[in-house]
Amino acid sequence: MTAEKEAALRARIGKMLADGLKTQTEPFPETDREFGRLLTELRGLQADDLKGKLVLSGLYQVPLIATCPILVSAQQRSTSSIKVDACTGSD
C-alpha cells in the first residue's frame, strides 16, 4: 500500500470512528481459543468490509495529544503499548 493510500485509509477510519462507529471492545478475548474465534469471524468478512472489520476488532480512536488522535486496538489498550511518538511516526 502506498503512503498516500494508507493516509486515505487512516483518514476514512478516523472519520468513521469520529462519526460514532461503535466497536466491540468487550468481552476482550483472553485465551487463544477466544482469539481464534475472533480471527475466524474476521476472516469470514468480505475483504472490503472495513466497517465490519473495525467493529469486530474493537478499534477506536483515542486522542493521545490534543492535536494527534491515533487509532488504538483493544489489545494495545490492555497492554499499555501506546507510544507518544506515534504522532511523529518514530518508535
Q: Which of 49, 44, 87, 53 is nearest to 69 (CA)?
A: 87
> Which pLDDT band, with edges at 50, 70 and 90, does 26 fall under?
confident
pLDDT of residue 66: 47
pLDDT tens-digit profile of 43-84?
Answer: 999 999 999 999 998 887 765 444 455 555 555 555 444 444
pLDDT of residue 43: 95
Per the DSSP assignment, residues forming a β-bridge with 60 are 72
- pLDDT mean across residues, the chain: 78
What percent of the chain shows pLDDT beyond 90?
43
Domain boundaries, the chain: 3-87
